[in-house]
Structure 1
C-alpha cells in the first residue's frame, strides 16, 4: 500500500476525533457538522474551474474525505466506533451503482 494512503488514514482519524470533540463540547451539533461537510463536498463537485481532463472517478476520489467524515459523523453513536475500513466501505456502498458526480 502507498504510504501516503496510510498517512491519510491517520489524518482522517485525527479529523474524526476533532469533529467528535466539537460535538461533545456542544460547539457544533451533528447536523451542523454534516451541513458544513455537505457544503464543502458540493463546492468540490461544482468546481467549474477544475480542468476538464479530471475524470468523474477522480472527482469521486477528491470527495472521498468529505464523504468519509460525514459517515464518521453519522456513526458517532455506535459503540465501538467503526474502524476506518468499515467506514470507507460504507462510503463506497452509499453510492448507487453507476452514479457519478
Structure 2
C-alpha cells in the first residue's frame, strides 16, 4: 500500500510532466512562428522519436512502460497538428485523444 506522501509525489510528478509537455508545445509553436522549423519538420522529428521508442528492443520495456514513454511524444504530435490548424487545446484534451488513439 502506498503512503499519502508517495501519492502526492506521483501527482506532483504528473503535474510537472503536464507542464513540461505544454511548455515544449509552446516552444514548438514559437519556433514555427519564427520560421526556424515547419510543422512538417516538427512532425517528422516527433515521428522519428516515436518510431525509435516503438522499435527499441534493447531496454525490454513492458507494454505499459512503452506506452508511458510514447505518451508525451504523442501529445506533442497532437499539439503540433492542432497548432497547424490554428487550434490549441488543454493538456487533458490531448491526453484523452492519445488514450482514444492508442
Matched, 1:22 2:27: no
Q: Segments of 4+ in structure 1 off by > 4 A? A: none
Structure 1 segment 1-101 matched on structure 2, within 5 A: 2-51=11-60, 54-76=61-83, 77-78=86-87, 81-95=88-102
Kindly name which structure, 1 or 2, has the bigger radius of gyration based on alpha carbons.
2
Report the Cα distance in structure 2 between the residues aligned to 1:48 and 1:93, rounded to whole angstroms: 25
> Is the partner of 1:75 in helix, strand or coil?
helix
Whole-angstrom CA distance in 2 between matches of 1:94 and 1:35: 19
Q: What are structure 2's unaligned runs of at least 5 residues?
A: 1-7
CA-CA distance at 1:49 after TM superposition: 1.0
* 2: CA distance, partners of 1:60 / 1:86: 18
Q: TM-score, normalised on structure 1?
A: 0.85
Root mean square deviation of aligned Cα: 1.1
Deviations 1:34-65, CA, capped at 9 Å, x for gaps = 000000111111112112xx311210111001
Q: Specify which structure has the higher proportion of helix.
A: 2
- Number of residue pairs aligned between Structure 1 and Structure 2: 91
